[in-house]
Structure 1
Amino acid sequence: MSQNLVLNPSFEEYKRCPSIIGNFNHNVTDWNTPNFGSTDYFNACSKDVGETNFFGEQSSRSGNGFAGMYVLAPENYREYVQGQLSRPLIIGDTYTMTFYISLAEKCSHAIRDLGVLFLKEPFKRESDEYINLNKILNEISDSYFVLINSQSHYIEKTGWEKITFEYTAKGFESNFIIGNFDKNSKISKIKMHSTKDPDASYYFIDDVSIEPLHSETISYSESQTIEKDQVLENDKVYTLKNVLYDFDKHELLESSKAELNQLYKYLDANKRLQIEIYGHTDDVGTQKRNDELSLLRAKEVALYLISKGLRPERITATGYGNKFPVADNDSEEGRALNRRVEFKLIFK
């Protein structure tokens, strides 16, 4: 498993090949726009919105897809990209965030004031009053803003410039927004060339990653059940093979509890271990229902362990819906493998 926690990090997966600009919110999988800005999606699959665009020419840094957004424009107009993580960040752990940008060749200015807003829930305001998100920085609970410190302006036009920083997680981060959060009057900018158009700064963005600073490859256990006296490895993802549910239900079956009892005994004997529980579904049903069902199933396991005596602060539960299948969904056997609950033990 890759250590990059950002879903669709290079904008390769899309709902439809772009045919017009400004349609990022409807085209790209696992990404959206948090305001009414019309962020752009480019992909080599398109003749109209491919590598030649309204600001010149640009090819992706990797793959075929990339995004573009205004970070300086008249009337404090801003565009942003909002991404999501495969799991929340772990409180106290340090992560490296990296992304790459390239200045559009025909825009008038370059800036250096980019930031990242980390969030527990995705942000969406139903008013164009919040077209510039600097107004919300002190309004949202469970959020944290990072202003990226740069000693120079981002002036690279032909290649891609790397932006990276380290971040210590607060423990709620599941989503993030990249862009410029300042007013025009406060932005540090330099003029690149004269143009008859209003002052503007526009950047392409690609290859976004958030990775644990000390990352290890995660492997899956081949164990079918948790056996008595079995030694479980830290940072290895295990599948609870005997934790089963009725169709479209999240209540534990009685036959599932023996394996969970063994898991509880192991955690009770190893009190410095914390556990992350991951719920998954097959692709039958709507995405919304699958996301809900996978979380309910993970929480049901967590609640059972708590009922046995495990302290709640040692447990986190996350639902991934049908995002991470381990088999194809074309057969009942494959769908059965995808309907699963996994866990990982973390030494604290």
Structure 2
Amino acid sequence: MIYAASGREDSYGNYDLYMAQKTNEEWEDVYHFGLGINTDQWEAQPSLSPDRKDLYFASRRPGGFGGIDIYVSHLKPNGYYSQPENMGPGINTSGDDQCPFIHADNQTLYFTSNGWLGYGDDDLFVVRKQPNGEWGKPENLGYPINTIEKEGTMCIAADGKTAYYAADRNDSYGGLDIYSFELREDVRPVKTLWVKGKITDKNTGKPVVSTLELNNLATHQTISHIQTDDAGNYFMTLPVGKDYAFNVNSKGYLFYSDNFLMANKSPDSTYIKNILLEPIASNASVVLKNIFFEVNKYELNPESQTELDNLVRLLNENPTMEIEISGHTDNVGKPSDNMVLSNNRAKAVVNFLISKKINPARLVAKGFGETKPLADNKTEAGRLQNRRTEMRVISQ
């Protein structure tokens, strides 16, 4: 938990940012963020992105565009947060811009401002992250959410429609009261579910500290990038409405891949996915679940890019590893045609790797057609499981 506090012995200014961590049902202070994030001015109203990579907060420090500006600090590989960046004139104005709230979808930011065109004092605004990673133009949430009075800090539930905010209005009991309302559809974030589980070694059952990444299959945009705790546990947000590649990586192991195809469905439950990672060893294998082809075709679909990049990374990190890429089909059609198709699909993957400067001597392509099914071909679910591309380690 990241919070603001004042009056402490280690404080630099009016309010500083601190982080606490819950262990054994108790909260313990981990650290004061120190100079850079904290100054001798006022730093408050922190909001941490769901993947913990971006820390948004408000500050009165000099050098901004107005009285209070919104800043963001990014998590560095060493586990510390970077020097804060002002979010710029696309969000900050000559007035006060504050109370940032990044939704669990990691794409929608809400804040208050008295500098953007509004109805009165502080109004609530929404701004969305674009596919290129840049922020769009802020949009006023409109009446009756905003009034001539002062609307303050807002947060939104994972369902994407239930909102809570503080406001000083004519029906308030005190200075600021808490209100709840349902967001209009046009200003809602993406409904967000969760996937959680534990990563363990397939052979020993011991936890494996790993990194997990969720990527939009269509745009290849990284939606979330997190690391497990020391016990291998993870918890990741899962915005609905898109198709995602889900990858798990840890040094010394084959990567694990899966997908969440949510573009045409909106499930209501969370996912529990416990994952067994395969140590790199001769004959170790993994199904490449995010390699995609059209029916009866062997040209790689653009959605395969994330998986192919992971395969290139694995081979570059293990420069002596030799692998076999194998293609497999279901039993629909002629066995001879399936054998040719599966072989051509395996070759397509190998040719991509060669195009990325992987030595051809390290690569073997082989098609098995319908001869090695994983499931019964009598059902569509079984046939889908049998249509696959696999990678097997020949030698390390």
Q: Shorter-chain-normalised TM-score: which range?
A: 0.3 to 0.5
Of Structure 1 and Structure 2, the greater strand share is in: 2
After TM superposition, the score normalised by the length of structure 2 is: 0.30
Of Structure 1 and Structure 2, the greater helix share is in: 1
Larger radius of gyration: 2
After TM superposition, the score normalised by the length of structure 1 is: 0.34
